[in-house]
Structure 1
Amino acid sequence: MRKILSAIVLFLAFVNVHAQIIAPVKWKSKIEKKSDTEYILQFDGVIEDDWHVYSQFTPDGGPLAMEVLFNNQKDNFEVVGKATESKTRTAFNDVFGVNETFFEHNVQIRQAVKTNPKSNGIFQVELSYQVCKEVCIQENKYFQLDTKTLRGKEVESFEELSLVPSLQSGLVAAAENDTIASKTADVPAGVTKTADKEKTDPWTIFLGTLLAGILVTFTPCVFPMIPMTVSFFIKQNANKAKGKFNAVFYGICIVVIYVLISLPFHLFESLNPDIFSEISTNVYLNLFFFVVFVIFAISFLGAFEITMPNSLANKADNASNLGGLLGVFFMALTLIIVSFSCTGPALGLILGSVLSTEGGAMLLTIAMLGFGLGLAMPFMLFALFPSLMGNLPKSGGWLNAVKVFFGFVELALAFKFLSNADLVLQLHFLEREVFLAIWIAIFAALTLYLFGKLVLPHDSPVTNLSVGRLSLGLLVLSFTIYLIPGLWGAPLKLISGFPPPMTYSESPLGFGAAPASAVTEPLPEGAKLAVHGIVAFEDYDTGVAYAKKVNKPILLDFTGHACVNCRKMEEFVWSDPKVLSVLKNNVVLISLYGDDKRELPENEQYVSKKGNKIKTIGAKWSDFQITRYESNARPLYVLIGTDEKKLNEPIAYTPDIDTYDAWLKEGISKFK
């Protein structure tokens, strides 16, 4: 068992290393002291093969030239002349029609500075440059150099350096050329930084799937097995302690088997870090999940049963006769196989839901761990405390009612995948009103079922309603009534992210509201009226040009038509009056959809730096996001100035209104 767990840990460590985005230039920095007030700041870069960095002196009209910028120059030091460079190459660029100047393999920048009498002896320098191969990456590297130690180090941003000078010197002396990994001091508490790339809270996934695993035990395939299996282990051995150990080990094996199911996805992710993003927006996979969920739902409703092949179950059962811990492992495998008709739909729900997000393979492993633990917990609990089995309810018709309940829920969730496919293709077949009408019908039918007014195959006659069934029926009825105003434009924040957004409906501004064409204020060219009446652009260049015209900062919204967390942000956070006021009046919003499957014109298609053919609008913006900001998180929010440089650190999914509002205002305050 220890060997298996060790192999899992090593495997996960391997894929984690190989899923990183590689920076083409590695930098070191140092200081040379010329006199008590004169210093040379030196920056040495190693450039990966086939990449090149453009010089400060590459001419106008060509690629972006390198800039050496200073953050804390005022009243601290003076810059003496322009930075000098190591050897460069010059070549004619047919595209720009100029002789461009660039570095290959190595680059060195040296800048002379002179300190003032009140100087703190610390220099904060930013190198802004383009590094190119098939495509170009705009990089901004930040350095802090200290005259007391004559050392320099690369940092993540200058915000994290708001420490007193004495502490700064101590940090610089501690290590040379390390990247500060701690959170920045100026980033508001609770903000999710870009580097974290967390799309969904792992604890929410774990607790949700843990609950799903526990609920699945209350199905006809699993529930009767609990007392039988626990009694078998305890009575099999004269030594009760050993019997309890075997039963607990049996539960651990269930958990391990489910975790092992997720491991191949780590391999897929190591080969292609964007695979989960591609799965979440792939039309055919979403349609596949829709069909699978509908089939599972019909099975739960009693039309038929889905079972694994008998030969597979028989082989696992025969292997369980080996004895010892290996035999216990195959007993756990046998349970998983024979109970598939009940656990399969729940397992499909977990796989489909996590794969259709951008949470990554690790999130899937967490989900499978939670589900396996929830399923195994009753077996382990009753093995340790056998006397509790006397409190278990007897098997009966209520088990089938639980199964049918899951069937209705699974049928409702199936339409989320169909909606994803429709949104990505922008077909407008399953708009918000149609989606909600289907959900209302499904949950109304579930209400009738719980009240005993609707009878399905395998149901026992309902002579009276238990308190639990009545309470659940009232809860579902309340939820159904809650959905109805959504047909007329109610926001329905309780299910935010599941139905299509308000902008994807027959009445985008709400039932009875004036159509967008009736808005008296004309929209800027290339803009559209987005959620909550915010003016938004869906093309980067058009939006930037407008921002320069009106001299406002730009909010880049890297989003997706099928992105649940994007919709939650729009419906929970953007709708808040103070946030909405900022979005409408203080920034220019550019929403870039990374899952838009519409094809680019042939003359705009290109090959990415990874060698992938960029053929669709979504692929273009996804590649732009990864290339420019080294992140594929959705949503991702970036505040930039009209010079297209970041005003503060980008953030991902941030559902706290005050945190998001503080982040917006922090970036806007830095706009000049």
Structure 2
Amino acid sequence: MIKNIIVFLTFFNVFLGFSQTDEEPVLWEQELNKISDTEFELIIKADIFKDWHVYSQHTAEGGSQPSEFVFEKANQDYELIGAVTESETTTEYSDIFEVDETYFKEKLVFTQKIKLLNPTVTQVNVLLYYQVCKDVCIPGEQDFIFALDGGPVNLEEKTVDERSVILSEELILDLKNKEKLTEGTVDSVSGPSGLLMIFGLGFLGGLIALLTPCVFPMIPLTVSFFTKQSGTKSKGITNAILYGFFIVLIYFLLSLPFHLFDSVDSQILNTIATNVWLNIVFFAIFVFFAFSFFGYYELTLPSSWANKMDNASSKAGGVLGIFFMAVTLAIVSFSCTGPILGGLLGSTALADGDVATNLSTGMLGFGTALALPFALFALFPAWLNSLPKSGGWMTTVKVVLGFLELALALKFLSNADLVGNWGFLKRELFIGIWIVLFILLTLYLFGILRFPHDGPKQKLSGLRKMLAFVSAAFVLYLGLGVTKTTNLKLLSGFPPPEFYSVFEQESDCPLGINCFKDFEDGLAYAKEVNKPILLDFTGWACVNCRKMEENVWSNPEVFKLINDNYVLISLYIDDRKALPDLEQFDFKYETGRVKHIETVGQKWGTFQTLNFNAASQPYYVLLSPELEVLNTAIQYTDTETYKFWLQEGLDNLK
């Protein structure tokens, strides 16, 4: 969660090209179990390539396309016993679609029991519709034919009527320079390493914890103790480094119980990001943490714990004594580190991937940052003289953290509102509350607003004034976002999406660009205005399509290129709207399989396959009004590459 608003590392892009000519990311197989003479178990299995996801039948509506089964002649030749069961799935909250998404990783198993109604039936035909996603989303169809008698499969030669042949042929475009579609390659890109980002967040949290009054004064005291009490300088350095190591170890060990929970039920932690009531609980916890930072109460562990650890360190001595000293530090500093660790738990729960692994990585980063000064100052004791003195500035740090905790708490409340479809925390209200919070923070930093543990008024430092101006500038930035004067791109994915607004939206086209959702209509308009076509194969449930629109198309130069120079035709492959009866037809593949085209999405999916030999989304093609291919087809990529690609298409047209 925090990763959406704090950028503190730069990463190299990892290029991951994918096309229809590459190996398919899902490998299917089937099994048949005979239960009795009339009952059978149909089993469908798949191996899924690393980092690809196939979505469950039960993934939330409004997100990615779920898996769907069609059992031919069910309730005629046989009946289904119960519903299709699934193997283990993963559920995570999607910031793009604002819903829970349930999917398979690495492997999947579907199982359906049937009972024969007609004893002469020897085979069962099953059709599976599914979607597999990584940086692109690929809707797929898979036929399974189960021979109940163990004999050979009977492949019926199906025919299509003349009207279907005509409608199929009408989908085929007379493309010119078609070879340009695959001339050269345009790489798609993926985001930065998730675990490295989580480690960075934990490290940042540890650095912040160092500035709190519970930890900062301990640095010179502890380092001086080791360097003076250890006899020799080398032994003092060794003990200080060992002390730092134990700090890292202790915070890492704190995450291990979450691995035990995860082994019992892999979904127990992911529900934090998707369950309405747990999001509300997290909201309340963050508010509670925030007011502790404001000084209204202290969060402390029982003092007896710290006393016992301190006594144990004195008695044990040696390495074991140093370990107990590190435990003592963790306990006595809890009032300052607890809220930060709570934020770390929340952010890792909302991040992609395994929650327990994320938390361990974050804790490792937190402990590393906390331990680093003890080792460094032991190696270079003269640096201690450059440390600022403890004082009121540490109270300022805690109050600033309190306001940030409140701002982060609102994200959990927003998640609950979006998942629950309550509709009370719209985008404008969310941003409005943030504006109030950061106005209060600005007033505090300027010394106008005060809290219980603030000392006597003193002259404001230059750093505090600078932070106050930064906070005020952020308030202005948020205000411009509410009035639509600027795009809150820096906060992309954090507030509710733009369509979740108190105002009625005029267009359902991306960014309000004038677009067409029918190819023939868009082509006719392109010929009328003599502009080239940006053909956008997309999907309502396509995560990376939304990312391209929100992060790439929203770039002013890219937006201007599309809006001023191209006719945008967006074809939604997963559109389930039924075609008019006269437009429905049967399409025959080269393999001999016949598919009934009855929805808008099926029509455009077939259109994409026939003309561009592709089935992934997002997938972009540039065409002239005379259907001349202007450039290589492109998929999910970065802003600069996309902008160059659009401009090159215009140059090729000229």
TM exceeding 0.5: yes
> 2: distance between equivalents of 1:318 and 1:308?
17
Whichever residue aligns with residue 334 of structure 2, its letter is: F
> 2: distance between equivalents of 1:307 and 1:380?
27
Q: Map of 1:627-666 to 2, 5 A cutoff? A: 641-642=605-606, 647=614, 656-658=638-640
> 2: distance between equivalents of 1:574 and 1:283?
32
> 1: distance between equivalents of 2:469 and 2:411?
24
TM-score by length of 1: 0.57
Q: Is the 8 A contact 1:262 1:364 kept in 2?
A: yes
Deviations 1:611-638 (A, max 9, x none): xxxxxxxxxxxxxxxxxxxxxxxxxxx9
Describe the SS at the equivalent of 1:404: helix
% same residue: 44
Which of these residues, 355, 358, 361, is aligned with residue 366 of structure 1?
A: 361
Q: Map of 1:116-515 to 2, 5 A cutoff? A: 129-130=142-143, 188-192=186-190, 201-270=194-263, 272-273=265-266, 277-321=270-314, 322-361=316-355, 362-489=357-484, 490-509=486-505
Aligned to 1:602: none
> 1: distance between equivalents of 2:538 and 2:265?
29
Q: Is the 8 A contact 2:276 2:415 kept in 1?
A: yes
Q: Is the 8 A contact 1:257 1:333 kept in 2?
A: yes
> 2: distance between equivalents of 1:292 and 1:548?
55
Distance change (3 Å), C-alpha of 1:186 and 1:354: farther
Q: Map of 1:24-103 to 2, 5 A cutoff? A: 51-52=42-43, 61=72, 100-101=123-124
Q: Is the 8 A contact 2:294 2:453 kept in 1?
A: no
Aligned to 2:539: 556
Alpha-carbon distance, 1:464 to partner = 1.6
Q: Which moved more, 1:392-401 or 1:45-54?
A: 45-54
Describe the SS at the equivalent of 1:642: helix
Pairwise CA RMSD: 4.5
> 1: distance between equivalents of 2:277 and 2:487?
29
Specify every segment of 5 or more residues in structure 1 that has no aligned partner in the other structure, as ranges: 1-21, 27-44, 64-90, 104-126, 134-183, 193-197, 510-515, 520-528, 537-542, 593-637, 666-672
> 2: distance between equivalents of 1:253 and 1:132?
59
Q: Which moved more, 1:297-306 or 1:425-434?
A: 425-434
Alpha-carbon distance, 1:571 to partner = 2.8
Q: Is the 8 A contact 2:202 2:365 kept in 1?
A: yes
Alpha-carbon distance, 1:211 to partner = 2.2
Higher RCO (C-alpha under 8 Å, 6+ residues apart): 2
Q: Is the 8 A contact 2:552 2:639 kept in 1?
A: yes
Alpha-carbon distance, 1:426 to partner = 1.6
Distance change (3 Å), C-alpha of 1:129 and 1:502: closer
Whichever residue aligns with residue 556 of structure 1, its letter is: G
Whichever residue aligns with residue 423 of structure 2, its letter is: H
Distance change (3 Å), C-alpha of 1:574 and 1:428: farther
Deviations 1:209-251 (A, max 9, x none): 3122112111110011111111111222112212211111111
Distance change (3 Å), C-alpha of 1:372 and 1:586: same
Deviations 1:491-527 (A, max 9, x none): 2112122111111111254xxxxxx4xx7xxxxxxxx
Specify every segment of 5 or more residues in structure 2 that has no aligned partner in the other structure, as ranges: 1-24, 35-40, 46-69, 75-113, 127-139, 147-181, 524-534, 577-601, 620-634, 648-654
Deviations 1:262-306 (A, max 9, x none): 333344445555555433121111111110110100010111111
> 2: distance between equivalents of 1:303 and 1:506?
35
> 2: distance between equivalents of 1:320 and 1:234?
17
> 1: distance between equivalents of 2:449 and 2:294?
12
Distance change (3 Å), C-alpha of 1:555 and 1:310: same
Q: Is the 8 A contact 1:296 1:410 kept in 2?
A: yes
How many pairs does the alignment contain?
443
Q: Is the 8 A contact 2:571 2:604 kept in 1?
A: no
Deviations 1:447-489 (A, max 9, x none): 1111111121121233322111111111111111111122223
Aligned to 1:603: none
Distance change (3 Å), C-alpha of 1:352 and 1:326: same
Whichever residue aligns with residue 380 of structure 1, its letter is: A
Whichever residue aligns with residue 587 of structure 1, its letter is: L
Q: Map of 1:512-661 to 2, 5 A cutoff? A: 516=506, 529=508, 532-533=511-512, 554-558=537-541, 570-576=549-555, 577=558, 584-588=568-572, 590=574, 641-642=605-606, 647=614, 656-658=638-640
> 2: distance between equivalents of 1:378 and 1:567?
43
TM-score by length of 2: 0.58
Q: Is the 8 A contact 2:545 2:618 kept in 1?
A: no
Q: Is the 8 A contact 1:52 1:132 kept in 2?
A: no
Deviations 1:32-54 (A, max 9, x none): xxxxxxxxxxxxx8889955469
Whichever residue aligns with residue 322 of structure 2, its letter is: V
> 2: distance between equivalents of 1:548 and 1:130?
31
Describe the SS at the equivalent of 2:189: coil
> 2: distance between equivalents of 1:326 and 1:535?
70
Describe the SS at the equivalent of 2:538: strand
Deviations 1:342-385 (A, max 9, x none): 01111111111110233323332222221111111111111111
